[in-house]
Structure 1
Amino acid sequence: MRMPSSPASSVGMRSWVWSASPYKGKWQQRFGELQAMETFKKKVSEEEQSHESSYLSILINCFRTYDSNPSPSAYSFIIKYIFQRRLFSHLSPILEHLEKAERFDVPERIFVNMIQGFGRADRLCDAADIFFRIPKFRCTPSVVSLNVLLTVLCKSREGIVLVRDVLLKAAEMNIRLEASTFQILIRALCRNGKLSSAIELLNMMQLHECTPDAKLYSLIFYSLCKQGGSTQVIEFLEEMRNAGFMPSALEYNNAVSILVNEGKSEDAYSFLCLMRMEGKRPDVTSYNRIIDAFILANDFQKADELFDEMLLIGLLPNSATYNIYISGLCKQGNLEQARRMLACMERAGCKPDLETFNTVIAGYIKVDEIANAKELMMEVLEKGLQLNSHTCELLIDGLLSKGEIEEAKQLLMEMTSMGGFTPGLSNFNTLTCSLCQKSLLCEDAKIQEETISVGNNS
C-alpha cells in the first residue's frame, strides 16, 4: 500500500529535483541580473533630481544585493542616461571602473553610442578620445566605430581638422578602411568645396582594395557642376567613362547646362549628339537652352535645325521651346512665321501666354507694322487674355516713335477703359512728355508764323 507523502517531504523532493537541474546556475544568474537591473533603473529614477548622486555606487550596490556583477546592458543604460541629461561629470568614474575593474569584453555598440552622444553635445575632441581608448576596454574597434566618428567629425569644419589624426590612429589600430569610409570623407570634401581632394581620394580607393561605385562618381560630378567649370566637368565625365561608368542622361544634361552658361554652344550640342549615339535621350530643357544660345549668337539656321531635330526624335516642344523659337523668329524679322508658330503652339496644346503675344507685338512694332501689332492685340483680347502694362508700353511707344501722338493718346484711353486694366505710370509719363513736346512745337510754330506776318506787313 502506497503511503501519502507529507508536505515536508514534498518540498524536499521538489528542492532535490530543482537542485539537480543543470540549468539552475544560469537561470538564477540571469534572474538575479534582471532583478538588479530593474532595481537599478528604479534607484536612478529616484535620484534623478539629485546632482550629488554617484551613479557608479548605485550601479555596484544594486547588483551586489542580488549577488551579481553589473552587466554590459547596465553600463549601456547608465551611459545613455548620462548623455541624455548631459551629466558628463558622472561619466569619467564609470568609464574608469568599466576599464579597470570589470573583466568582460565591452561591446563596440557602447562606444558607438558615446561617440554619437559627444557629437550631439559638440564635444568633438571627447568623441575622438573615446574612440582611441576603445582597445583599453577589451574591445576590438572596427570600421563601424570609425565611420561613426568620421560622420560626427565631418559635420563641421572644426571636426574636419581632426580627421587626419583619426585616420592615422585608425591605421595603428589595424582598422581596414572600407568603401563606406571613403564615401563619408568624399561627401564631406564635396560639401566643403574641396573637389580636387575628393577626386584624389576617389583615385586612392583602389590602393585600399575598395572599388568606387556609380553613386560616388555621381556625387563628385554634381558637386563639380555646382562649383567647378566646364573643363573640370568634361574631364571628370571622361574619367567616369574610363572607369566603366557611363554617364546618365541627367548627368549629360547637367554638362550641357554648364557649357551653355559659359557660351560654349557648339560643345553643348556635341554632348547632345554623344547622348543620342549612346542611346540616351536628351531632355527638352537641354534643347531649349542650346536653341536659345544659338539665337543669342544670331545663328538662326542652327536654331532651326535643332527645333526640327527635336520633332524628328519624338521630343515634344513645351511652352518654353515655342517662346524661345518665336523670339528668334521675331529677332530675324520673320514675323509671319512667328504668327504661324502661335497657331502651331496652340494646336500642340501649349497655350501661348501674354508674354508670348507681347514678343510678336514687339516684333511688329520694331519694323513699324503698327497695324499688325494692334490686330494681334485685339486677337489677344478675343482669347480672353488680360492685357498688362507691357503690352500698353509696346504699342504706345510704337505709335509715339511714328509721331502718332493723338492715336497713342486714344489707345491709352481705350485700354484704360477696359475693365481690369491699369496702365503703368511710365505710359502716362511718356505720353505726357510727348504731348507737351508737341504743344511746345505748335506754340513755336505759331510764334514763328506771327513774326513772319509782322515782317511782311512792315
Structure 2
Amino acid sequence: MKTPKPISPFRLSSLLRSEKDPTLAFNIFKNPNPDLKPPGKPFRYSPLSYDLIITKLGRARMFDEMEQVLHQLKNDARLAPEEIIFCNAMKFYGRACLHERARQLFEEMPEYRCQRTVKSVNSLLNALLLSEKFDEMKQVFFGMEKYARPDACTYNILIRACCLSGCLDDASNLFDEMQRKGVKPNAVTFGTLIQGLCMEMKVKEAFKLKADMVRLHGLCPSPCTYSMMIKGLCRIGELSLAIRLKEEMVGNKMKVDSSTYSTLISGLFNVGRQDKALGIFEEMALNECKPGTVTYNAMINGFCKVKDFEAAYRVLEDMAKKQCKPDVISYNILIGGLCKEGKWSEANDLFEDMPRQGCKPDVVSYRLLFDGLCGGLQFKEAAFIMDEMIFKGYVPHCASIHKFVSGLCQKADMKLLLMVLNSLAKANAIDQDAWLMVISKVCQEDKLSISSEILDALML
C-alpha cells in the first residue's frame, strides 16, 4: 500500500485558511498527518499556521481551544511570534468581555519571545474599554512607558472611555495632553470628542470643536461625526441647524445614510413639521438612499402623532410594495396610536391581520391592545386578548391588571370577573392588592356565593 504524502507546513496553512468549520480546523491543526506510519519527526508549525488557527478559534469564541494553541506556541522555542497574533487574541477576548484573559496574555507576551509595543498596549486598552474597566485602563496607561510611547490610537481609546463614563473634562485634558506631547489628533479623536459632547447635549461646544478641526487642523469631519451632531441637534429641537448640517454633508459629496434621514424625519414630526418631514423622505430617493424599516417606522410614528392614520396605513402598504417588510415595531406603533385615539376596533383588526402578513405579535403588541381595550371599557374583548396572552406565556403589566379588575368591579360583571380571576390566578399574574380590591367589592355587594368562588380562585 502506498504511503500517503505528509502534509507540509505550507499545505497546512492552506487547509486551515479554506476550512470553514473551526472545530475541524482545530483538529487538522492538532494532527496534520494522522495516517503517517511510522510517526516521523515532530511537525514544524509555521507562524502563519498559528496565526490562522488563533484567528479562526477566536472568531468562533472557542477560547479554551485557542489557549491550547497559545500554550503550544509558547513552548515552540523555534519561533518568535509577531505581535499581531497577540493583538488579535486580545481583540477576541475584548469582544467577549474577557478582559482578565486579555490582560494575562499581555503580561505573558515576553514568555512567547515577543516584545510588547504600543500596538499590544492599544489592543489591551480596547479590550478593557469593551468591558468598561475604566480604572484598569488608567493603570495600563500610566505604566505603559516601560513598553512604548502612546500614539493617537492610545489617546483615542482613552478619550472614548472618558466620554462613555461621562467624564468630558478628563477627555478634554487628554486631548490637551496629547498635543503637548506632540501626538497629533486625527479625525477619530475629534469625532469621539464631538460624539461625547453631543451625548451630553453640549451642541455649541461640539460645533466649536468641529470648526477647530477644520480651521486649525485641516481635518474633515466624517459622515459618522455629522450624523452624531445631527442626532444631538434633533434631541434638543434645533431642526434648522440639523438640516443645515445635512445640506453641508450633501455639499461635501458625503453620503447621508438612512439612519441620519430617519433621525431628521422623527425630529421634524416631533415639532409638527410633517410637510418638511415628507420632503426629507422624498429626498432620500433623489440621493439614492433606500429607506429601511427604521425610516418607514419613523414615518408611521410621525403620522400617528399627528393622528393621520390613513397616511400611516399608506406607509405600511408602501413598505410592502418597496420590498421592505414591516416588522413587529411597525405594527406596534400603529396599534398603540389607534388605541390612544379610541380606535379599538381598527387596532384589533390590524392586530389580527399581523400573522397573515407574516409578522407575529409580540408581548408589546398584546399589551398595547389589552391596555387600549381596557381604557375603552371593552372588557369582554380585553378578557379574550388576556386569555390569548396567557396561553402564549405573556402577562399584562401589573398596573393594567389593576385597572382591568377595578373596571370589572365597578361594572359589577361578576361572571366575567370570576373568569378573569381564574385565568390570572392560574398564570400567577395577580397580586395581593388586586385580590383585596375584589374582596372589598364583593363584600359591599353582600354576595356570599360569589365570595366563596373568589376564595376558591385565591386558593390556587
TM-score of the pair, normalised by structure 2: 0.51
Unaligned runs of 5+ residues in structure 1 are 1-83, 86-110, 132-144, 171-179, 441-458
Q: Matched residues, percent identical?
A: 18
**What residue in structure 2 maps to residue 427 of structure 1?**
434
**What residue in structure 1 maps to residue 256 of structure 2?**
247
- 2:374·2:382 contact (CA, 8 Å) conserved in 1? yes
Counterpart selection for 1:415 from 417, 423, 426: 423
- 2:335·2:350 contact (CA, 8 Å) conserved in 1? yes
Deviation at 1:350, TM superposition (A): 1.7
Alignment of 1:189-268 (within 5 A): 189-190=193-194, 193=197, 194-204=205-215, 212=220, 216-226=222-232, 229=236, 230-231=238-239, 232-259=241-268, 265-268=274-277
Q: Secondary structure at the match of 2:254?
A: coil
Work out the CA distance in 2 between the residues paired with 1:160 and 1:189: 9
Greater shift in the superposed pair: 258-267 or 248-257: 258-267
Work out the CA distance in 1 between the residues paired with 2:343 and 2:402: 22
The one-letter code sitting in structure 2 at the alignment partner of 1:199 is K
**What residue in structure 2 maps to residue 276 of structure 1?**
285
Deviation at 1:384, TM superposition (A): 4.3
- Residue 402 in 1 paired to residue 411 in 2? yes
Deviation at 1:221, TM superposition (A): 2.9
- 2:262·2:298 contact (CA, 8 Å) conserved in 1? no
Q: Secondary structure at the match of 2:222?
A: helix
CA pair 123-354 structure 1, distance change in 2 beyond 3 A: closer
- 1:335·1:364 contact (CA, 8 Å) conserved in 2? yes
CA pair 160-398 structure 1, distance change in 2 beyond 3 A: same
- 1:408·1:431 contact (CA, 8 Å) conserved in 2? no
Work out the CA distance in 2 between the residues paired with 1:414 and 1:154: 57
Higher Cα Rg: structure 1 or 2? 1
Q: Secondary structure at the match of 2:359?
A: coil
Q: Secondary structure at the match of 2:291?
A: coil
Work out the CA distance in 1 between the residues paired with 2:196 and 2:332: 39
TM-score of the pair, normalised by structure 1: 0.51
CA pair 433-389 structure 1, distance change in 2 beyond 3 A: farther
**What residue in structure 2 maps to residue 353 of structure 1?**
362
The one-letter code sitting in structure 2 at the alignment partner of 1:277 is L
Q: Secondary structure at the match of 1:245?
A: coil
- 1:256·1:271 contact (CA, 8 Å) conserved in 2? yes
CA offsets, 1:329-368, max 9 Å, x none? Answer: 3334443333332232112222223442343344444444
Alignment of 1:14-33 (within 5 A): none
Aligned length: 295
- 2:249·2:255 contact (CA, 8 Å) conserved in 1? yes
- 1:189·1:197 contact (CA, 8 Å) conserved in 2? no
CA offsets, 1:421-456, max 9 Å, x none? Answer: 33123321332342344459xxxxxxxxxxxxxxxx
**What residue in structure 2 maps to residue 186 of structure 1?**
190
The one-letter code sitting in structure 2 at the alignment partner of 1:421 is N
Alignment of 1:68-83 (within 5 A): none
- Residue 160 in 1 paired to residue 175 in 2? yes
Q: Secondary structure at the match of 2:307?
A: coil
CA pair 123-157 structure 1, distance change in 2 beyond 3 A: farther
Q: Secondary structure at the match of 1:247?
A: coil
- 1:387·1:421 contact (CA, 8 Å) conserved in 2? no
- Residue 285 in 1 paired to residue 285 in 2? no
Deviation at 1:318, TM superposition (A): 0.7
- 1:361·1:394 contact (CA, 8 Å) conserved in 2? no
Unaligned runs of 5+ residues in structure 2 are 1-105, 108-116, 123-138, 161-170, 198-204, 448-460
Work out the CA distance in 2 between the residues paired with 1:185 and 1:371: 59
CA offsets, 1:61-109, max 9 Å, x none? Answer: xxxxxxxxxxxxxxxxxxxxxxx99xxxxxxxxxxxxxxxxxxxxxxxx
CA pair 293-430 structure 1, distance change in 2 beyond 3 A: farther
CA pair 341-246 structure 1, distance change in 2 beyond 3 A: same
CA pair 438-341 structure 1, distance change in 2 beyond 3 A: same
The one-letter code sitting in structure 2 at the alignment partner of 1:187 is G
**What residue in structure 2 maps to residue 337 of structure 1?**
346
